[in-house]
Amino acid sequence: MTARTAAETAVGDTLGPVTVPVGRETLVSYANASGDQNPIHQDEQFARSVGLPDVIAHGMWTMGAAGSVVSGWAGGAGRVVEFGTRFTKPVVVPAAGVEIEVGGVVKALDADTGRATVEMTVTAEGAKVLGRCVAVVQLD
Amino acid sequence: MTETSGVNADFVGRTYPSSGPYAVSAAEIAAFADAVGSDDPLHRDPEAARAAGYADVIAPPTFAVTIAQQCDRVYVMDPDAGVDYSRVVHGEQRFVHHRPITAGDELAGELTVDSIRMAGGHAMITTRTELSAAGEPVCTSTSTIVVRGGEDQ
């Protein structure tokens, strides 16, 4: 993985969009890795019983997938120094699975610190699922 | 009678004694990286991580939530706090990394209830967990949960 430099980066640069598949097995993996075993993320019957259309992805899985895309773009996981989002819409995951699209645009670049502010756009079935998803990454 | 979330607003500003240590292993980091689809060698290859200047493999940027949520338990499980976890949804999440979480870390977490806002029968609670290792700051994780109001909504 090559580190991105501030010199080769400009405001308005885009990353992605990258398509990330998510299936029920993805959510089981995330549940086991994160410790969040809420059945709404695994059990279709339970999810429907609490008024959801189907199993939904953990919001933190979706944020994590966006984090993987932006850290890959920056050139390493340690380069993400700030990362925040709102969870505005759940990602519904039917038995056949679904895809999310993760993209971003450089909104600001601090020449002194080499830090870039990247606004991320994450969609599922054409609808935005994260709001105000912003990462600050340290470039070389 | 208007049913509300039942959340006790008196908890604003409360800081709990530091909890932990939370030990971070390379296996946990690799499993988390797999789950969020990160193919970064820094999560799995200690040599690559050391060459990049880290002590060992490093965690993905959202891994801190797994520890922050353990730190949250002292608050959300407190009966006096009035948080019905079956009615909680995650509203917002933010991380400020002072350095990456690294395999071998023994993290301590200090939880503060930053704000509680009531709106439309719901409660929005923002908690902040300061994660540190040997007294040095590692990550600030800030989480807003929404506790939905009860049956009368």
Residue with tokens 């059990």: A43
Q: Which of B34, B62, B84, B143 to mutate to test the interface with A (most CBs of A within 10 A)?
A: B62
**For residue A133, is it within any domain?**
yes
Residue B151 binned pLDDT confidence (cut-offs 50, 70, 90): low
Q: Looking at the predicted structure, is the pLDDT value of residue A103 above 60? A: yes
Q: Are A24 and A93 in contact (CB under 8 A)?
A: yes
Give the separation between CA B105 and CA B102, rounded to whole angstroms. Answer: 6
Which residue in B34, B70, B89 is closest to A29 by CB distance?
Answer: B34
Residue among A36, A60, A77 minimizing CB distance to B58: A77
B34/A contact by beta carbon, under 8 A:
yes
Fold assignment, B9-25+61-147: Thiol Ester Dehydrase; Chain A (3.10.129)
**Is A71–B38 a contact, with Cβ atoms under 8 angstroms apart?**
yes
Name every residue whose Cβ is closer than 8 Å to that of residue B147 and which is 6 or more positions away in sequence: B5, B6, B7, B83, B84, B87, B88, B122, B123, B124, B125
Specify the CATH number for the domain of residue A63. Answer: 3.10.129.10
Domain ranges of chain B: 9-25+61-147
Per-residue pLDDT of B85-121, as tens digits, reads 888 899 999 999 999 999 999 999 999 999 999 998 8
Among chain A, residues having any CB pair with chain B shorter than 8 Å are 1, 20, 26, 29-30, 32-36, 59-61, 63-65, 67-68, 71-72, 76-78, 80-87, 135
Task: Indicate the pTM of the whole model.
Answer: 0.96
pLDDT in tens, B25-42: 999 999 999 999 999 999
Residue-range definition of the domain harbouring residue A69: 14-138
Shortest distance, CA B142 to any CA of chain A (angstroms): 9
B152, pLDDT greater than 80 = no
Which residues, in sequence order, are CB contacts of B101 under 8 Å at separation 6+?
B24, B29, B58, B59, B63, B64, B67, B107, B131, B138, B139
Q: Both tokens of residue B36?
A: 């969020």
* Predicted pLDDT at A100: 98
In a domain, residue A3? The reply is no
